[in-house]
A and B are shown apart, each in its own frame.
Chain A
Amino acid sequence: MDREDLTPAAGSPAKPSGSFGRLSSGFLAVSLLSGAALVPHYDPAAALSSLESIASGIPLGAFLRGLHAWSSYGLLLALVVHAVEVARKRTEGQLAAGVWWRAVALLPLLVLALLGGFVLRGDAEARAAADVWRGMTSSIPGAGPPLAALLLGGPGSGLGAAALHHAGTFSILLVILTVEHARVVWPGTRPSVLAALASVGAAGLLTVPLGPPPPGHGVLLGPWPLLGLQGMLVDLPAAAGWIVPLAGVLLLGSLRGAAGPARTAALAALAALAAGWAAFTLRILVLAGH
């Protein structure tokens, strides 16, 4: 990586590319702090039991878990809107190519972190999600099986690897890549307070599901951001499971430097992908009988 990557391409100091970027930093801060508060109560060897304990055994445990979950979902939503914001304002040129691509990598990294969090529940849905994650990763030609072992541990291993990556690897990378492209270490007061208030509101008023799904449902659903992918895998070949997200990331990344018809085509492809994702989300929900 060249040092030159860190200097803005346009030469002049970068202008903030939108308020949702700062909001996502706020959500990231809330998510990291609430996650750290959950660490002493979570046991990967007794995942479901310790989560039940968090949910109703310890004082304010459910609230803390809600705070962590909703701030993380808030982070994802804010990040997606931030990406739309950047594309609309065409501010991606403010970042050097390497920084831009690493910033784009935040999106798949965050999804992996969320998937890790879902898997850490340890209930039937979480186990199924872990199985699919492993199966999906293993099916990547060449690097698949070692990559799956890196992310989830060997076949038959517990949730230790997933827990360490969730709280460690993914969190560290999320922070580094956020700081790198935002060029600020601490999120501002206003975004942090707004993110915290929104997370507190959601955590207090909504519950985060846990435990065995109600009997009678034939389909176990994965985390909601990935339901579109689950739906796709019902009808499309298994390779779609990594080709489609990879295509999405490459299309987003390719916006930098693309102009005219090429940019329009990339945006149209991204829009089509988002619509397909939504349609397949509906498809799996219908299959599950919701």
Chain B
Amino acid sequence: MYRTPAFVTALLFAVAALFAVTARESARVRQTGSGPSRAGGAVERCVSCHVRPDEDPGGAHSRAALGCASCHLGNPLAFDKERAHAGMEPEPGALSTVASTCGRTGCHPREAERVASSLMARGSGIIGVDRFAFGEIPVPETADTMARLISRDRPSPAEDHLRKLCAGCHLGTRRNGRDDAIRGNGSGCAACHVARRTEGEKRPHPPVDSRIGDDRCFGCHSRSGRIALTYQGLFEVEPDQRRTSGTETAGALEDGRPVCRASADVHLASGLGCVDCHLHTDLMGDGTRPAHKEQQVEITCEACHGPAGPDGEAAWREGTDPVTRDLLRTRKESRPEDERVRLGRRGTPVWNLRPSPGGKGWVLLRKSDGKPVAVKPTPRDRNHGLKGHERLSCSACHAAWAPLCTTCHTALDPAGKQWDFSASAETAGRWTEKSEGFGAGRPALGVRGDGAIVPAIPGMLMSVLPAGGGERTVRLYAPIEPHSTGSRARSCASCHSREAARSIAGELPWEGTRTGFRPLSAGEIRKVSSVAENPAFRAECRSDRLDSRPPTP
């Protein structure tokens, strides 16, 4: 055993190994970064290599405080790139791994859980309405979620439609390299809390914070009900329509959709952005599983403008919402326990609404910079106490306009291909939507299940042509808060004439996109129009303070 051949073999083996060791050693020296090896008090070797200033999100999530692996996972102990990057999360905040990233213990576990059950993540509303429109379910309600829908093996026609046209806005859908208006921010938490990355070669780490600009809402909410467009005073038109409409054009959106200009929301003019009014529960949910958006949204006009109902106001000491308290703590604020605070519909404090320093009325603080904006209280005048108007929502009168889509033909081209958000790839079948014109005008009014009268717009006026199935024509109206609030309400005459009364009911007959949502009945229409014949009407209507301009455009 200890003879020359064994020795020579082992020697050759060892010499070969020494060459390998030398090569490995020089690679190691090249790979080992020269930066620090700790971040936030823990070993974090990512920052040894990732030392460029533009790789730091800064703020509370700065590289020095959290390192990289807290959000991006991987192996922070490893020195070499391959081992360090194993198991990395390219899209921190994605809902599939959020429990280990943003939602880890000690960071934002409660928020992560709430978001997962919120409507933006579940998408139950749009799924229910779409499947109802396709005739797949008898009522527009479902407990189904986008997460379940996109993992289903054999999607129904509506599910395929949703996966290709709607799932992109679902918070759980990963970005997967798409840099468009919808997915540019990422998914999950990052969809809102991470600013859009800049295009091109250099991609500095965007800041991660709670200052949510309207642009982050715009990508998704400029579609369907288009409230983000409406808020800015923009409405979408067809490309050939722009030349003929005669209204002021406003160019095209980033995704190429041409738009025209109408009046912007009065809140925009006061410098308020989406998150200044919307509470954290409106956006991230409160742990309940709402079926439609109006069940998730807590904020009401009355919360700011009054009159607040018996459950609409409390002292801070009575508020128990722990998230709001955390929120104030992170903003290094505390409120006096006996200070009054207005509440959302489910009792969440509107924390940035404060009694005005003068002691009369309220001011709303802008979340981005803390600047106070004075809130005008609802006047206690005759127009707001008109008999017979008790069931009207604020926006039934104050919504200046809403986007209107007259027809939409939805068809499936089985030979085509289209990006499928569930597969993150193009799959067989292409859905096309062909409209005969978009417009903007006074929204119709519909009656909610609880009797309230609210604006209604065509939600889905469409003919559906799923492959193989026959054509199906539906006319659905959706209740909406258009976000085109004017300080002046619509004029009396815009409802109370025979012509107007018929037109405010919408294009009858229609079905609501909610259980119980219905058009005005014939009796109700008759009652509205008969007001015009009442001699007292002209005397009582104070039209000078109302918006008597023709609807825009």
A residues whose Cβ falls under 8 Å from a Cβ of B: 19-20, 23, 46, 48-49, 52-53, 55-57, 59-60, 62-63, 190-191, 193-194, 196-198, 200-205, 211-212, 214-215
Contact = CB atoms under 8 A, between A and B. Distances in A.
Contacts of B16: 201, 204-205
Nearest to B42: A49
Given A56-B78, A197-B13, A214-B86, A46 B18 contact: no
Contact of B79 (A46, A56, A194): A56
Contacts of B13: 197-198, 200-201, 205
Nearest to A52: B77
Nearest to A62: B24
Most buried by B among A23, A194, A197, A214: A197
Contacts of B86: 211-212, 214
A-side interface mostly:
helix
Most buried by B among A53, A200, A211: A200
A52 B46 CA distance: 13
Contacts of B31: 56
A133 to B, nearest CB: 23
Interface stretch (B3-11, B356-364, B460-468): B3-11
A53 B79 contact: yes
A49 B21 CA distance: 22
Contacts of B79: 52-53, 55-57
B257 interface: no
Most buried by B among A62, A194, A204, A211: A204
A215 B86 CA distance: 9
A214 B10 CA distance: 33
Contacts of B20: 204-205
B78 A23 contact: no
Most buried by A among B14, B19, B28, B45: B14
A201 B10 CA distance: 7
B224 interface: no
Nearest to A203: B17
A120 B86 CA distance: 22
Contacts of B19: 204
A207 to B, nearest CB: 9
Interface residues of B, number: 29
Nearest to A200: B14
Contacts of A48: 77
Given A194-B2, A198-B10, A215 B87 contact: yes
Contact of B17 (A55, A200, A211): A200
B373 to A, nearest CB: 49
A212 B10 contact: no
A63 B2 CA distance: 25
Contact of A204 (B7, B21, B77, B83): B21
A49 B77 contact: yes
B75 A212 contact: yes
28 contacts: A19-B1, A20-B1, A49-B77, A52-B75, A55-B79, A56-B28, A57-B79, A60-B25, A63-B24, A190-B2, A191-B2, A194-B1, A194-B7, A196-B14, A200-B14, A200-B17, A201-B16, A201-B17, A204-B16, A204-B17, A204-B18, A205-B17, A211-B77, A211-B78, A211-B83, A211-B86, A212-B75, A215-B87
A200 B2 contact: no
Nearest to A214: B86
Given A19-B1, A55-B78, A60-B25, 5 more contacts: A52-B45, A56-B28, A56-B80, A63-B25, A204-B14
B2 A19 contact: yes
A203 B14 CA distance: 9
B32 interface: yes
Contacts of B6: 194
B2 A202 contact: no
B107 interface: no
Contacts of A62: 24, 28
B43 A49 contact: yes
B233 to A, nearest CB: 49
